[in-house]
Each structure stands twice: as structure tokens, then as C-alpha cells.
Chain A
Amino acid sequence: MTEVSIEGLTKDYGSSLAVNGISVKIADGEFISLLGPSGCGKTTTLKMIAGFEDATAGAIRFDGQDVVNVPAEKRDIGMVFQNYALFPHMTVAQNLAFGLEMRRVSRSDIATRTARVLDMVQLSGYADRYPRQLSGGQQQRVALARALVIEPRILLLDEPLANLDAKLREEMRVFIRDLQKRVGITTVYVTHDQAEAMTMSDRVVVMFGGRIAQHGSPSDIYERPASLEVAQFVGQVNILEGKVVSPAAGDLTPVDTVLGQFLVRGVAPDANGTVTLTLRPEAVELASADTGGAQATVSASYYSGSLVDYRLTLDNGQTINVQTFPRNRWAAGDRVTIKVDGERFWPLGAPS
């Protein structure tokens, strides 16, 4: 199995710097996501790892060996494309056999390995079908099987679920993740869908404008975002201005906000003693009775079955968004009390 190390990787298209000196280490067997909006350089990075794009500068090492000058067909990678890229003139079995034929695997071994992987992706009965005879989800599983049957060093996936409908997408997330764990293959997954990145990855690399904005575990990224951009990209967020009341005692700093005074972790106040705090909508609890907390008026509510989103107006006119379970329901115009755990605030510009 393979450990991937990327150092100072750069792609300069002349008119623009698609990837600007990124460095990241991917451990053997790790599932890592490159997450970012379109044009952030995530796909270019993947193409450079695959060997479809030349790197302008930097190194890509597989187990310490630089592969920058190794052509794509010699890198021993398995790749799954957004549009599956199955060979339309070959049956499912022939699609799977292609990579093995390139490796001069014997005919009988091809048959056993193809059958085993088809079983793994639950497509055993489909060996003799042509791609056009399969549904989108089945085609996706064939693409996955074709990439895995060659037992590559690394699995690369380029937005593989983007063309599937919502329900199938969620099933495939779990499917791919389980399969990856079972096979134990080092995996790089490119997506612009934060939920996909969060649910599937061991680690998420958030990219903006060709640079890495933050990398860490899904909970690091979500709960301790490095910047406002990251915080907003991976979910909804409320921004609150805070004023440091007194110097930090250990880890915790008392901060005054419109929602009251809280002990906040990781605060590095500027010279004026002010700090910008992020607060996720689901970190807030609501109550009808005045239990001692900030008061607000419900201005809108959006019910989505398992959750309800509220837009609240604080008495100072500021709007905050809250997400709760629909145990208690409030309607527009209701008065509510806001309860927040100080632990759930995260300051922007925190030293990481």
C-alpha cells in the first residue's frame, strides 16, 4: 500500500495559477477529500497526481519515490471519473479486464479477479451487459470496479457522485466508504459537496484559489474553521462580534456578545480586545420561557422534516439563524430565549 506526499505542487497555465504550491501528506490507507468550489484547483491537483497534467513545480511522491516524470499509464493508479468514462464498446467484463490485459495478467486470473470485484460491487449478474444498458448508479459501480480490479496503489475519484440523484448519492457515499475501508486503499476524493467530503473522509483538505485554506479532520474543519471562507463553505454560520472582558484564564477567555457573556476557547484578541466569533446554527437551543438568556423574535421558520430552521431577530436588530429538531415548534412572531454553550463558539483568526 502507498503513502502519498505532495510538496509545493504548482500548476501554472500561463494566464492563471491553477494550483499554487500546495503540500499535503496522505497516509497509507487514508481517505482524503479535496474540497472546494469550482476553479479552486482540486481537479487540477488530482489530474497531476494521476499524471494527466504536468506539474509546473513541486513533487508528488508515492512511498517516497517522485512520480512527476512518470507517465500516467505507469503510475499504477485507479481513477474514477465524474461521467464514469466507461468504454461504451465493451461489456462490463471487458471494461474490467482492460486494465488487467494491460498488465499481462493471464486469462484465467482475469476471469477470477473480475468476478471477485464484480461481486464486491454487487454487479455479479451484469458481466455481459454494455454500459448503456446500465443505470447511472450501476455504471458508477462498474467504474469503481474497473479502477479497483487492477489493485492500484492509489484510488483517485473525481466528483464521482455528481451525476447521481440525491438518494442514490447518499447510498453511494456509504458504499464507496465501506469498500475503501475493506480494501484499505489510499484514496483521494475530489468534490465540491461539503456533506460528501465530511461523511466520507478521514481528512478534508479545503482549497480556495489554488491554495490549501485548511486541512484537518471533518470535525476540525466544521467546528474550528480557519477562516470565514472555510466556515461558510462547509455549512451555515452566524458571525458575532465579541469583546474580551478580562485576560484568558488558561484556555478560556471571557467574551461579551449580544447573546451574553461566554467562556470561549482559542481567543487571540486584537489590540482593541475585540474578537469575531462563529456560531453554527445547530449549536443554539431555543426555549419559550424566559430562562435567562438573550431574547429574540422568530421572523421565519422553515420545516424540512427532521429539522427546522429559524430566522431570529435579536432585540438589537441582528439576525441569527438557528437549526433545531422539531420537538418544539415556534411560529413567526413568537418570542424565544436563546441558550448557547460557550464551547460552541469558535473565534476567527485563531492560532491553529
Chain B
Amino acid sequence: MSMRARSAKPFLLIAPAVLLLGLFLVLPYINIGIMSFRNPGNGSPYAPGFTTGNYLRLFSDSFYLEQIANTLMIGAITTFACLILGFPVAWQLARTQMRFRGLAYGLVLSPLLVGIVIRSYGWTILLGNNGMINRTLINMGLIDHPLGLMYNSLGIVIALVHVFLPFMILPLMSALQGIDPSIEAAARSLGAGRITAFRRIVLPLSMPGIQAGCILVFVLSLSAYVTPSLIGGLRVKTMAVSVVDALIDTFQWPFGSAMALMLSLTGALVVLIFARLTRMKWKAN
């Protein structure tokens, strides 16, 4: 094989993915970037000429800044809740005998088999003021007034955790499976109790999975649209919902694009800081 052919091979292998990303991610982003600097239109999506006014409006209006903060907060809480709920499940799955693993694996994946719209509607039935949870609690005499479970951030977090839990459990499980049980045994033999062995050995070694799971769930939560719009209704809006409102309902393409870019950039910034904080020196080359 000639030198040229050999050096061309890796490129050929990644070409389809690069093409797909280029056409359907990078180009749209550039387009959104340009759109975010266009003049708002009157009766049309945008008007000729360019302006920084869309960003000024975004940064000067505390309504939108609070919305960004709230969206990031919902993402962070959802991520943390998934981590806390998912870790024990992933640990059990990683250490379970083969016989039950298939079944348990199926159970973890099963939420993904039901469409996200249906699952979110399901949660509105459970969480509503007249929903199952509130009615049951009132009938039992535990509460007088319905708890505010819907049309607020709490409801969105509950539904998002349910929807995204598998995306936390799967990377955690693969990281935990990669930890040789004899490493834990070694820690025990050196005098570490179960809790110390977990904290000093298992937890740091599962960090690649924690990192991957957290980034996945956080990014998915920020960009989630169906669940927040159904559960949050008109009262609580996440950034993604507002972006769609601006683009489709109120027809403000430039302002919607500015919001979309802000969402992406702040999300990316949080992910970068998180990756930096959880950097694993022992993994580097």
C-alpha cells in the first residue's frame, strides 16, 4: 500500500460522520449564528441588516437571565438526582450474576421503549392538581390542598429524572464493570472497611462513568423540550421551550437564534468546567 493510500484510509473511515456533522450540525449552527445578528422583522421572521440588539435584549432582561439560570439549575438537579438514584442500580447490575443481568438490563432500558411524549403525558396524569398522586394523598387525609407538583420546576425535574435515568445508569454500569473485583479485595486486605474501600477506590475508579453519565444527562436536560413544555405548561418555561416559542409562535427568528446560541454556549461552558474539575490524572497519557 502506498503512503498516500494509507494516510487517506483513516479519513475515509471518518468521512461519513464528518459529512453528517458538517451538513447537519456545523452549517445550521453557522446559520443560527448569522440569524442571531439579524434585525427583527415586522410581519416577517426577520428584516434586512444586522444588529447586536438581540443579545442586548437577552442580557438586559432579567426575565431571560433568570430563565437561563433556572434551566441550568433544572439540568444540574436532574443530573445530580440521576447520579444518586442511578449509582446503586448500576453497582448492583455490574456485580450481579449473569442469570439476572439480562432481565435487569432490560428493566433499565425499558423507559426508552416508550416514546417521550407518552411518558411525559403519563407524568401529567400523575402529577396534576387533580392527578393520581394528589388525589390519593387527599383521600388518605394526609393533605388538604393539592401539592404543587406540576407547572413548576419540581415537576419538570421529576419527569426528566425518569426519562433520563437510563443515560446515567448505562455509562456508570460499564465503568463499574471495568473495575476488577480483586482491586476492591486488595483494599479490604490492606485494612479498608467497605465504606472506605468504596470511597477511596470504587468511587474514583468509576469517575469516567460518572463524568460521561453526568454530561449526557445534563446536556439532554438542557435541550429537553417535550417534557418541560408539557409539565411546565405556561407558567414555568425552560430555555428550550422559549426558543421554540420565539421561533414558531411569535416568529422572532433572530431573537430565538440568540437564545438558542446562549443556551448552547452556557451549557458547553458548564460541561467544560465540570470535565475540568473531574479530570483524571491517572487516565492521561
Residue positions of A touching B, CB distance < 8 A: 50-52, 71-79, 81-83, 85-90, 98-99, 102-103, 130, 132, 146-147, 150
Contact = CB atoms under 8 A, between A and B. Distances in A.
A72 B186 contact: no
Interface stretch (B17-25, B39-47, B193-201, B213-221): B193-201
B192 A98 contact: yes
Given A72-B188, A73-B188, A81 B193 contact: no
Interface residues of B, number: 20
A79 B205 contact: no
Given A52-B185, A85-B185, A99 B280 contact: no
Contacts of B183: 85-88
B208 to A, nearest CB: 10
Nearest to A150: B190
A55 to B, nearest CB: 17
Q: Which 4 A-B pairs have the closest CB atoms?
A: A102-B191, A99-B190, A85-B186, A85-B182
Main secondary structure of the interface of B (DSSP, over half): helix
Given A50-B185, A88-B282, 4 more contacts: A85-B180, A87-B187, A102-B196, A150-B190
Contacts of A98: 187, 190, 192, 200
B204 interface: yes
A316 to B, nearest CB: 53
6 contacts: A81-B182, A83-B180, A85-B183, A89-B282, A102-B191, A146-B186
Contact of A72 (B182, B185, B201): B185
Contacts of A99: 190-191
B60 interface: no
B33 to A, nearest CB: 40
B201 A87 contact: yes
Given A89-B204, A89-B280, A146 B190 contact: yes
Interface string B44-56: 0000000000000
Contacts of B187: 87, 98
B243 to A, nearest CB: 40
Contact of A73 (B192, B207, B282): B192
A72 B194 CA distance: 10
Given A90-B282, A130-B282, A102 B190 contact: yes
A81 to B, nearest CB: 5
A81 B190 contact: no
A146 B191 CA distance: 12
Contacts of B180: 83, 85
A82 B193 CA distance: 22
Contacts of B204: 89
Given A81-B182, A87-B183, A72 B205 contact: no
A99 B187 CA distance: 8
B97 interface: no
A99 B282 CA distance: 20
B185 A102 contact: no
Given A85-B180, A87-B201, A98-B200, A79 B189 contact: yes
